[in-house]
Amino acid sequence: MDNPLLGPGLERLRERRSVKWRLYGPDVLPLWVAEMDVVPAEPVRRAVHEALESGDTGYPWPEDYAEALASFAGERWGWHPDPGDMQIVPDVMLGVVEVLKLLTGDGDAVVVNTPVYPPFFQFVEHLGRRVVEAPLGDTGRIDLESLERALTEATRDGGHAAYLLCNPQNPTGTVHTPEELTAAIELAEQHGARVVADEIHAPLVPHGATFTPVASLPAGARAVALMSASKAFNLAGLKAALAVPGPEAAAELARIPEEVSHGASHVGVIAHRAAYLHGGAWLDALLAGLDENRRLLADLVAEQLPGVGYRVPEGTFLAWLDFSAVGLGDDPSAVLRERAKVALHPGPGFGTGGKGHARLNFGTSPDILREAVSRIAAAL
């Protein structure tokens, strides 16, 4: 199967009406938000088309989605979660909010590993919880000493703390190992903090690394993960996600209010189900293309951007670039958007470790990636 990243050219991409292509002017290359420049897999397009043609545009049937995810998890990760334990939610972050409502109360603390996806801060604080940062180590991996300090602070005054884990990690692309996850989960449990994991990038792990679902681990029996086909299959505009509990968290998760399920899109469920059940060949071609891009970016940075730090990510389609040594200030993205006409995601919003950095989305064609790096090099 052809590389999906070689599909639409720049002219066609600029016809899109998503925020990625509309926020900035037509002279800016947008490599910021986590949306890929691909056309969804043919089975997904067909399923959505057939739904519209037949008028199947009502309310979602969660069982279809849960059974499809369970099938995908068995094939890809050798894990067989019970579809009957899963709960449908509108999307991953709103699912995180609903799970945190179950496990914590007003004013309780939520520990996060930074730098991390900025909505972790926004949604948690809007919910009335406080964020406690546990910075990652220098290599982008979980630092247990940092995590223990954060958990100690989070639970100092009692309450019901949570540990909101990003697995695989956004923005670093780190794919946590079973040993790392087990140690982190056990540490959280020792402090009485419940583990909630954003696993939206789970399918985006190429050959050479292995994704481990937190709820598949013995230590993760009380954990809850949020999963979705949206990132891997480029379906962010078709909202649907699932909360997947470890075996000892299923009864708690069943307390999510029934009305939460109303927020998912029925057409989204149809699309995600088709992706999980019939999109495997397309996903494999995408993973191969992303692997080529992450290595192409390493070559381009080494050749054209001396002084810019880049560690090849194990998973996701996101690159965490360190511009600290080239004098662009705390937010290099603002300078590069103005000088290079390339939009990257601002680093400071990712919390501790974000200053001087920017996140680049390499889920695009090699030509666009080369053009973006060329523009940045000229601006520097």
- Residues 6 or more apart whose Cβ sits within 8 Å of residue 369: 31, 293, 296, 297, 300, 362
Phi, psi of 46 (to 5 degrees): -65, -45
Residue 157: its pLDDT value, please?
Answer: 87
Residue 208: its pLDDT value, please?
Answer: 87
- The correct CATH number of 4-40+280-379 out of 3.40.50.2300, 3.90.1150.10, 1.20.140.10, 3.10.20.740 is 3.90.1150.10
In CATH, what number does 45-278 get? 3.40.640.10
Domain coordinates in residue numbering, the chain: 4-40+280-379, 45-278
The alpha-helical segments, DSSP class H, found in 17-59 are 19-22, 42-54
Cα(255)–Cα(142) distance, integer angstroms: 31
- Show the tokens assigned to 150: 């954060």
Cα(160)–Cα(144) distance, integer angstroms: 20
Residue 80: its pLDDT value, please?
Answer: 98
| Per-residue pLDDT tens listing for the chain (380 residues) | 999 999 899 999 999 999 999 999 999 999 999 999 999 999 999 999 999 999 999 999 999 999 999 999 999 999 999 999 999 999 999 999 999 999 999 999 999 999 999 999 999 999 999 999 999 999 999 999 999 999 999 999 888 999 999 999 999 999 999 999 999 999 999 999 999 999 999 999 998 899 999 999 999 999 999 999 999 999 999 999 999 999 999 999 999 999 999 999 999 999 999 999 999 999 999 999 999 999 999 999 999 999 999 999 999 999 999 999 999 999 999 999 999 999 999 999 999 999 999 999 999 999 999 999 999 999 99
Calculated CA dihedral for residues 178, 67, 103, 105, nearest 10 degrees: 130
Residue 159: its pLDDT value, please?
Answer: 83
